[in-house]
Amino acid sequence: MNKSESKYFNTAVKMDLALISLLKKKTFEYITVSEICERAGVNRSTFYLHYENIGDLLEETTRYLIDDFLTYFGEDMEDVPYRLTNCELSELNFICDKYLTPYLTYIRENKEVFSTALSNRKPLGFDAVYKRMFENIFDPILERFHYPNEDRKYVMMYYLNGITAIIAEWLKDNCSRAISDISGIIQDCIFGLGGTLPSLGFPKK
């Protein structure tokens, strides 16, 4: 990233953070460009250099949060490539409390942004992250289970769209249900009630 790109990125992040801060204090409909600029320390021309309107900023802010959420997993994520290729098949389970809890915690702590994006029919940004997760995590897992290449994208869309739908409903309820409840619901949907399906949730072929 050159100096110009870095400055552009840093300015965009300032406006992302400004919108996040404002959404914790007032509803989206009452937030103005002037308030965002004042909080971000930029002028209006800079805002319109990046976005056409606040809705565009909202969409980018959602993506910013999603891109940032992996930091919640900390150093545990550094072990993922090794685990994918060296652990026992029974240990290849990333849909568990260890990973769902920090993920759902991040969603709840930033629920104002995600809920606003949902109510304004803006993309929640999960698709881009899930694409990376598919390429870097789930595809290697399915490879170890010898799942046919041509079937993998359909299997993953089934599971990932289901998880996204559960989170969307949770957001509509203002994240009132406990994180442990939502984590349990996701795991029940993937593994079957009572854990009767394979521990990974992906049937062998």
Domain boundaries, given as residue ranges, for the chain? 3-50, 61-195
pLDDT at 119: 73
Residues 6+ apart with CB under 8 A from 103: 69, 72
Half-sphere exposure in the Cβ direction for 38 (13 Å, CA): 6
User: Residues 73-117: pLDDT tens digits?
Assistant: 555 555 666 667 777 777 677 778 887 898 899 889 989 888 887
What is the pLDDT confidence band of residue 131, given thresholds at 50, 70 and 90? low
The answer to whether the pTM exceeds 0.75 is no
| Nearest one of 116, 92, 107 to 164, comparing CA atoms | 107
Percent of the chain's residues with pLDDT above 90? 30
Cα dist. 205→84, 136, 194 in Å?
19, 21, 22
> Hey, what CATH topology would domain 3-50 get?
Arc Repressor Mutant, subunit A (1.10.10)
180: part of which helix (H) or strand (E)? helix 179-191
User: Residues 143-181: pLDDT tens digits?
Assistant: 888 888 888 888 878 877 888 899 999 999 999 999 999
User: What CA–CA distance (Å, rounded) separates 138 from 147?
Assistant: 11
| Nearest one of 147, 164, 136, 32 to 78, comparing CA atoms | 136
Cα dist. 75→79, 91, 93, 141, 144 in Å?
7, 18, 17, 20, 24
User: What CA–CA distance (Å, rounded) separates 72 from 77?
Assistant: 9
Return the amino acid letter for 70: L
C-beta separation of 78 from 47 below 8 A: no
